[in-house]
Structure 1
Amino acid sequence: MAHIALYRSWRPQRFQEIVGQQHITQTLQNALREGRVTHAYLFSGPRGTGKTSAAKVLSKAVNCERGPAEEPCNECDACIRITSGSVMDVIEIDAASNRGVEEIRDIRDKVKYAPTEVRYKVYIIDEVHMLTTEAFNALLKTLEEPPAHVMFILATTEPHRLPATIISRCQRFDFRRISLQDQVDRLSLISKQEGIEAAADALEYIARLSDGGMRDAVSLLDQIISFTGNRISYQDVLDVSGGVASEQFAKLAASVARQEIGDVLEQIDVFMQDGKSAEKLLENLIYCYRDILMLKLLPNAARMTDRLLNVEAFGDVLDLYDKERIFRYIDILNHYQAEMKYSVQPQTLFEVAMMKLCSLDLPEPGASSARSNVQAGTSAGAGEVARLELKVNALEQKIEQLLQSGVKLAGGDIGNASAEAKNQPRSTVRASAPSTLRTAKLDEYVLAKDHPDVQKILGQWSKTLQRVKETKITVHAWFTDGELVSATDDAVLVAFKNTIHRETTEKALNKQVIEQVLQEVYGKPLKLVTVMQKDWKDAASDSKVQAPQEVLQLEPEGGEASGHGQDWINEAISLFGEDLVVIKDE
């Protein structure tokens, strides 16, 4: 005789065999005992929690030859035949493949006929949320007022997809995820009855992997038995399921916390060599960090962890993390898990995710502890922070005094900019401080902008840009936003339209490339000074910056003095004023 899967051979045949749903089974048993069975039920909940099994048990209980009874006898002809599926009056319909209006109309036409073999005609419609709108409309009236001999049992994993008109016509029962202990007890019973010797931690890990679904747990147990035979160990479960021992995750989490990228990649390579799945590893790692977070927030939450069987192995790891870091890590891993669904290289994506975790610039756990100590009023932490605050305040006062005195720093005079800087937010001042552009004096560049030497430099500027492009094209992409506006003997001034382009050009490595090209093109070292175009235009139009005034000198025709010299002087004074006339004796 062919082997029957464990989840089929161990399907509950009585209400008391349904695991973890006492709130439902007790209600149904009371209704059967008191004769308050209704015509329509809606069973909703996650997969593998007993919805269809409860529907079959209920159909046997109402049709049992010794009933209706709180429990079916499973011995009479009706119970045996309903269990085997050979009773014509108990109809199981898969709504996923029979979802059209025609199938529901067929049910509506047949419900008026009395059952031929048992007491009630029972329709069990599984995955009822898959019915079309038209099918639901066809079912409505029959579901509301069916004949006395008809019972409907609707089962679904997505009750929110059912119309409210359908739900309101049924008694709704919500099946819950089965608790870990209930699953372990059931798996232990099945193992003993099947003659299997299973380790307690192996059964517990199987239960954790099933995510609250009893059918998934029994199916996994059946698969492991096929692999191992009559003895099941914790390592056997890991090998079959593709899982990783919690101790290995503890080692991986510790390496990530210490940002040891090489060690992390080596561990990932070992996992891959052992045939582990990158998708499964990432999923389990998220569970691992979830469990670490639970233990950080609730020290006595060992029973609430999903993947950590040996909590003691994570004792040292907990000290390496604070809750802010764990929250950040879980967000990043969730992002990569979503991306991995569409990736053809899941292992590479997993490695990138781990390298990103190791590269994050996050505060050490001690910093968070210091903050919490200050908030809690602990003397040691509070005293240290207070001393640091005094030092920072003293340094800020010294800097402000230097700014007010107009101290000249490398790159220009910041004295005139101090008042403006004090009115800016601190982050803005920090961002502006390294720039030589806002601090540079523009007077000398304004005076030199029309000098012939500047025109010579302008004539070779296209050659300079081309040479920068040949040297490093990425620098050229930013540098072309600038325009050469002036130059001196040892520097060129370039005005930028875009702040980002200017700040990128000012970076040390980029600036070094440009200044090297300037020396090659012009044959002498030239510094690069940059400015925003708006600032340059304001400086160039400033009336205080003017070229030196020329002195008007009157000379007699022929270059020789004449007897009318005094007349020329008087005429000049009358025309231009005494202040503008300079008299020289030749």
Structure 2
Amino acid sequence: MAYLALYRALRPQTFAEVVGQEQTVTALQNAIKDDRLTHAYIFSGPRGTGKTSIAKIMAKAVNCENPVQGEPCNQCSACMDINNGNFMDVIEIDAASNRGIDEIRDLRERVRVMPAQGKKKVYIIDEVHMLTTEAFNALLKTLEEPPESVIFILATTEPQKIPSTIISRCQRYNFRRLQPQQIILRLREAAHSNGIELDDDSLALIARRANGGMRDALGMLDQLYSFKDHDIKREDVLEVLGLVDDLFVSRLLDAVLAQDPGTMVDMLNTALNEGKEAGQLIRETSLYLRDLLLYKLVGERAEFLFVGAANRENLQKQAQRADKHKILQSLRIAMEAGEKLKFSEGQRFLLELTYLEMMALFAQEEAKPAEISEGKKKPTAADKEKIGRNDAREILWNRILAGVKEKKIPTHALLSQGKLLGTKGDTMYIGYQKGYGFHKERMEEKANREILEQVIKEVFNRDMEIIFVFLDDQQVNDMVVKKAIEYFGEDIVQIKD
């Protein structure tokens, strides 16, 4: 017999076997037991949380020859045929590939035919939000006047895309992400039944990576089983799933707090070269910052999602060094970067920029008492303002460069040789050294200027005028350069003879 993937082999066959959706299961089971079923249901929620599994259990329960308290018996001919995919009156439709009006019209014609094998016809339409507007309108007619022998179950991960006219004619159940402990329990059962050895740390890593989806968790266990057979170690999980542990993120944050960009960039390059995902690195950094913030706020009462026992001591040291407001801001930076990485091609650049932003944020903190006691001069308010202004300018320039690079790499190559001098009102000044006249002239051309203007509008949320200037020729009397010096200071705009 062919090997069956774990998520298929362990698919729940009764309501009692479903994990993590107790309210939905109880409501549906009671409706079946008391014969109070409606004609249409919407099952909405994240992928891998049991929508299709419960739909199939429900299809069995309404057609079962010997149901017990709303549960299918899994022994009668109807239950066995449904389990084997041979039951004529349970029809699964993938809306992603059958999304047009012709397919729904065909469904409307078949709906009116009485069940051929069981008591009820059950249509399970997966990813129903993918239907076209015309297809939804055609489906609406059927939902308004459905035959008594038909039940529709519409499954979706994006309920907001379903028209309100459809939703209003269905009974809706929201499926929630599973808790890590629920996933770990099922993974432990799956491992035991297949003779797989995993420790608690490995199970916790898989559960965290699954992000609340049981199917994803079982799929990862299957992948690890194929890679390492029966004996799976924590290091195997990190390698195969592209994860980093809390010790790595802790060292990365140490580099950020220590204002050590070299170490930070080297660590990121090593992780990416080893096959780690940029998005996963950001997510795990977010989890670490969350744990750090909670420890800073409530101390030992904090419940950690990511940080392990071996790293608690260093977490305590970091909590003493970092301000809670800066930790919160860093967490927001990481979460925003996580969203941007989903749609960005320049992932390495965006990842580096995110940690540089955090570094600039922590650079603005007060000098530590130990440094003052060693005779180092405490920075003045003017020094802090100057450092903060330069850091902000560098972060802004990197954002602009990243945006231009995503739109057109040659334009990025021209722009990257310049330097952001600053902004004043609705005007931005960008300077070039004299040896880069070609780059300046090309950037002043319409096509390249329009790309830059578009990116600047995305960053500032408004249109801005761009002025390109030379920094090291004889234009010291040029009004533009004089204005730039007036606005931003001679430490920024350096005019050389």
TM-score (norm 2): 0.73
State the match for 2:72 in structure 1.
72
Q: Is the 8 A contact 2:485 2:493 kept in 1?
A: no
Change (3 A) 1:141 1:300: farther
The reply on whether 1:172 has 2:199 as its aligned counterpart is no
State the match for 1:104 in structure 2.
104
Q: Is the 8 A contact 2:202 2:237 kept in 1?
A: yes
State the match for 2:12 in structure 1.
12
For residues 269-308 of structure 1, what are the structure 2 equivalents within 5 Å? 269-272=269-272, 274-299=274-299, 302-303=302-303, 305=305, 307-308=306-307
- Distance in 2 between the 1:173 and 1:362 partners? 48
Helix, strand or coil at the partner of 2:92? strand
Q: Is the 8 A contact 2:224 2:237 kept in 1?
A: yes
Q: CA deviation at 1:338?
A: 5.6
Q: Is the 8 A contact 2:475 2:481 kept in 1?
A: no
Q: Which has the higher mean CA deviation after the structures are superposed, 316-325 or 150-159?
A: 316-325
Deviations 1:188-229 (A, max 9, x none): 111111111111111111111111111111101111111111
- Distance in 2 between the 1:324 and 1:288 partners? 15
Task: Answer 1 or 2: higher relative contact order, Cα 8 Å, separation at least 6.
Answer: 2
The reply on whether 1:474 has 2:471 as its aligned counterpart is yes
Q: Is the 8 A contact 2:20 2:178 kept in 1?
A: yes
Deviations 1:539-579 (A, max 9, x none): xxxxxxxxxxxxxxxxxxxxxxxxxxxxxxxxxxxxxxxxx
State the match for 1:22 in structure 2.
22
Change (3 A) 1:481 1:138: same
Percentage of pairs with the same residue: 44
Helix, strand or coil at the partner of 2:321? coil
Change (3 A) 1:191 1:319: same
Helix, strand or coil at the partner of 2:91? strand
Q: CA deviation at 1:43?
A: 0.7
- Distance in 1 between the 2:182 and 2:296 partners? 27
**Counterpart pick for 2:364 among 346, 358, 362:** 362
For residues 124-273 of structure 1, what are the structure 2 equivalents within 5 Å? 124-272=124-272
Deviations 1:114-159 (A, max 9, x none): 1111111111111111111211111223213312111111111111
Q: Is the 8 A contact 2:471 2:493 kept in 1?
A: no
Helix, strand or coil at the partner of 1:267? helix
Change (3 A) 1:318 1:60: same
Q: CA deviation at 1:303?
A: 4.0
The reply on whether 1:316 has 2:317 as its aligned counterpart is yes
Change (3 A) 1:277 1:47: closer
Deviations 1:247-288 (A, max 9, x none): 121122122112123332343344345443444323322332
Q: Kindly provide the amino acid, as one letter, of the partner of residue 150 in structure 2.
A: V
Q: Kindly provide the amino acid, as one letter, of the partner of residue 479 in structure 1.
A: V
State the match for 1:374 in structure 2.
none
State the match for 1:489 in structure 2.
none
Point out the structure with max Rg over C-alpha. 1
Q: Kindly provide the amino acid, as one letter, of the partner of residue 354 in structure 1.
A: Y
Helix, strand or coil at the partner of 1:169? coil
Q: How many residues align?
A: 402
Change (3 A) 1:24 1:135: same
State the match for 2:403 in structure 1.
none
Where does structure 2 lack aligned partners over 5 or more consecutive residues? 370-380, 390-432, 436-468
Helix, strand or coil at the partner of 1:153? strand
State the match for 1:398 in structure 2.
none
- Distance in 2 between the 1:149 and 1:505 partners? 80
The reply on whether 1:500 has 2:484 as its aligned counterpart is yes
Q: Is the 8 A contact 2:471 2:494 kept in 1?
A: no
The reply on whether 1:91 has 2:91 as its aligned counterpart is yes
Helix, strand or coil at the partner of 1:231? coil
Q: CA deviation at 1:297?
A: 3.4
- Distance in 1 between the 2:173 and 2:211 partners? 20
For residues 379-394 of structure 1, what are the structure 2 equivalents within 5 Å? none
Change (3 A) 1:262 1:133: closer
Q: Kindly provide the amino acid, as one letter, of the partner of residue 315 in structure 1.
A: Q
Task: Output the aligned Cα RMSD.
Answer: 3.1
Q: Is the 8 A contact 1:49 1:177 kept in 2?
A: yes
Q: Is the 8 A contact 1:481 1:501 kept in 2?
A: no
Q: Is the 8 A contact 1:42 1:170 kept in 2?
A: yes
Q: Is the 8 A contact 1:321 1:365 kept in 2?
A: no
Q: Is the 8 A contact 1:121 1:150 kept in 2?
A: yes
